[in-house]
Amino acid sequence: MYSQKCIQCNAEYTPQEIVYTCPKCDGLLEIVYDWSDLSISRKDFEGIPLSVWKYKALLPVEREPVSTNEGGTPLYKCSPLAQKIGIDTMYVKHEGLNPTGSFKDRGMTVGVSKALELGMKTVACASTGNTSASLAIYGAKAGIPVVVLLPAGKVAMGKVAQAMMHGAKVLSIRGNFDDALKLVRELCDNEGFYLLNSVNPYRLEGQKTIAFEIADQLGWEVPDKLVLPVGNAGNITAIYKGFREFYELGLTERIPTMIGIQAEGSCPVVNAFKQDQKDIVPVTNPETIATAIRIGDPVNAVKALRAIYQSGGLAESVSDDEIVAAQKDLARLEGIGVEPASASSVAGLKKLVDMGAIQSDETVVCITTGHLLKDPEEVMDMCESPIEVDATAESVRKAVFG
Ligand code: F0G
């Protein structure tokens, strides 16, 4: 048993109602469960391989899901990187190893399954890229049309390629992500398309399984600190909800501190946190090399700030240079290839350790949200180019040894 509940005025809506925000007060909605009849223990999860659907009992989908092996991503223990940053124990949960190369697949397997359950005929989203790539594959698997609105010229190549190849209708909007989101919300309201941005509370239910998996992978322990990039602010909300639910079900003993990282040129949540505010003032011209989180008016900001305040967490910004340095450290010290937005979590961790906001004996999990191959153009700009040489042993030797 579950319903859709407004986080502001507590109005409740049935699972079948197509509402994205509260019709009464425009507040954000959250899926709330009545688990009074649910008896669940750690034993129920033993021996089952990790995946989003391992936790089906805690997800709001009744039908056979539209699924393609999402979740079950590795949690790497990163010793060389931890040493460089100056902490004892650090893990990276590499969400770039999902089917389309980002965590969005967790949300979309639930969201598109729900779309079918609700009888929706077309699904749509605005995106900085990854959401559109993910919606494209789940729409293809479900056999329903997909419409995606992207900010023209500001989406990494790998992501556009995915949306195109999987058959989505791809529109390039002459505007930024915030403009695209406004437009797609209008389109969905007017045309009856199902909106699968993270304002849709069902999508976030899939993403909460990141928290479930981390607890599962750490033997039902939770880390002290959870650090992740924040863009439209859905994922931090979802992961906090997952940790809260495991705690409330008695599966874990505490909830980690949630730490959101944004890029300096695009950090409305950080600004709000630093001024002790419950909501943001939008940033009008967001800019960063981390195009995935180039968002000035995050739709889930109120939920994200609640997650941060309730968990005793914080929000911090990092520069593009810090992001690229962290991206190279992940790649070269740990063999973990990520896109720039993902590296902001590690850049943020480094900054917070340097500032003394995270202590060296605290256990930290950083989420890396998207794969390196999403944004090959950024890599071409940031790394030394391949050295072209004649096809002779001598010129190869010269190039290797100088
Ligand atoms: N990291 C990556 C790689 C992303 O693609 C996104 C969001 C985030 C972090 C931030 O997550 O929005 O839940 O706070 N990408 C969205 C998209 C906006 O359209 O693909 P968030």
How many CB atoms sit inside 10 A of residue 269's CB?
28
Please write the tens of the pLDDT for every residue from 72-125. Answer: 999 999 999 999 999 999 999 999 999 999 999 999 999 999 999 999 999 999
- Answer whether residue 52 is part of any domain: no
Whether residues 266 and 226 share a domain: the answer is: yes
- Answer whether residue 173 is part of any domain: yes
pLDDT of residue 402: 87
Atom of ligand 1 nearest to the CA of 96: 3
pLDDT of residue 234: 98
Distance 145 CA to ligand 1 centre (A): 22
Q: Which of 200, 216, 244 is the last residue of a domain?
A: 200
- Answer whether residue 387 is part of any domain: no
Strand 146-151 with 123-126, pairing: parallel
Cα(144)–Cα(169) distance, integer angstroms = 11
- Measured between alpha carbons, how far is residue 236 from residues 200, 243, 315, 333 in Å? 15, 11, 11, 26
Phi, psi of 54 (to 5 degrees): -60, -30
H/E segment holding residue 195: strand 194-195
Q: Which of 200, 230, 258 is the last residue of a domain?
A: 200
Residues having CB within 6 Å of any atom of ligand 1: 102, 104, 127-131, 198, 229-235, 292-293, 339, 341-342, 369-370
Please write the tens of the pLDDT for every residue from 142-178. Answer: 999 999 999 999 999 999 999 999 999 999 999 999 9
Q: Which of 175, 200, 225 is the last residue of a domain?
A: 200
Closest CA to 98 of 196, 219, 234, 209: 209
How many CB atoms sit inside 10 A of residue 333's CB?
16
Whether residues 223 and 357 share a domain: the answer is: yes
CA-closest residue to ligand 1 atom 15: 292
Distance 102 CA to ligand 1 centre (A): 9
Cα(203)–Cα(232) distance, integer angstroms = 13
How wide is the angle at C-alpha 290 spanned by C-alphas 284 and 296, nearest 5°? 20
Cα(144)–Cα(111) distance, integer angstroms = 13
Whether residues 278 and 288 share a domain: the answer is: yes
Cα(100)–Cα(114) distance, integer angstroms = 20
Whether residues 240 and 261 share a domain: the answer is: yes
- Answer whether residue 45 is part of any domain: no
Q: What is the rounded end-to-end Cα distance, in angstroms, of the chain?
A: 68
Please report, for the domain that includes residue 220, its CATH number: 3.40.50.1100
Whether residues 145 and 279 share a domain: the answer is: no
pLDDT of residue 223: 98
- Answer whether residue 176 is part of any domain: yes
Of 95, 369, 372, 373, the residue with max ligand 1 atoms within 8 A of its CB, to mutate for a pocket test, comes to 369
Whether residues 95 and 143 share a domain: the answer is: no
Strand 2-6 with 12-13, pairing: antiparallel
pTM for the predicted model, two decimal places: 0.98
- Answer whether residue 149 is part of any domain: yes
Of 102, 330, 378, the residue with max ligand 1 atoms within 8 A of its CB, to mutate for a pocket test, comes to 102
| Position 210 pLDDT exceeds 90 | yes
Using only C-alpha atoms, the chain has a radius of gyration, in whole angstroms, of: 21
pLDDT band of residue 43 (cuts 50, 70, 90) is: very high
- In this prediction, residues 218-235 reach a mean pLDDT of 98
Instruction: Give the helix ranges, DSSP H, for 36-155.
Output: 79-85, 104-117, 130-142
Whether residues 157 and 259 share a domain: the answer is: no
CA-closest residue to ligand 1 atom 6: 292
Whether residues 265 and 285 share a domain: the answer is: yes
Whether residues 90 and 210 share a domain: the answer is: yes
Cα(103)–Cα(171) distance, integer angstroms = 23
DSSP-assigned letter for residue 356: T
Which residue range forms the structural domain that includes residue 271? 75-101+203-382
Cross-strand partners of 227 = 259, 366
Do 364 and 90 touch, CB atoms closer than 8 A?
Answer: yes
pLDDT of residue 305: 98
Residue ranges of E strands in 230-382: 257-263, 314-318, 363-368
- In this prediction, residues 127-145 reach a mean pLDDT of 98
Phi, psi of 102 (to 5 degrees): -155, 165
Cα(108)–Cα(135) distance, integer angstroms = 6
| Position 53 pLDDT exceeds 90 | yes
pLDDT of residue 377: 97
Closest CA to 145 of 100, 107, 196: 196
Three-class secondary structure of residue 357 per DSSP: coil
Whether residues 158 and 294 share a domain: the answer is: no
Q: How many domains does the chain fold into? A: 3
Whether residues 243 and 185 share a domain: the answer is: no
- Answer whether residue 130 is part of any domain: yes
Whether residues 188 and 121 share a domain: the answer is: yes
Mean of all residue pLDDT scores within the chain: 98
Do 226 and 154 touch, CB atoms closer than 8 A?
Answer: no
| Position 398 pLDDT exceeds 90 | yes
Output the DSSP codes for 79-93. Answer: HHHHHHHT-SEEEEE
Phi, psi of 185 (to 5 degrees): -65, -40
- In this prediction, residues 284-299 reach a mean pLDDT of 97
CA-closest residue to ligand 1 atom 12: 232
CA-closest residue to ligand 1 atom 3: 370
Residues of the chain with pLDDT > 90, as a percent, come to: 100
Strands of 146-151's sheet in order across? 169-173, 146-151, 123-126, 194-195
- Answer whether residue 44 is part of any domain: no
242-252 burial by CB neighbour count: b if 16+ within 10 A, else e?
bbbbbbebebb
Do 221 and 246 touch, CB atoms closer than 8 A?
Answer: no
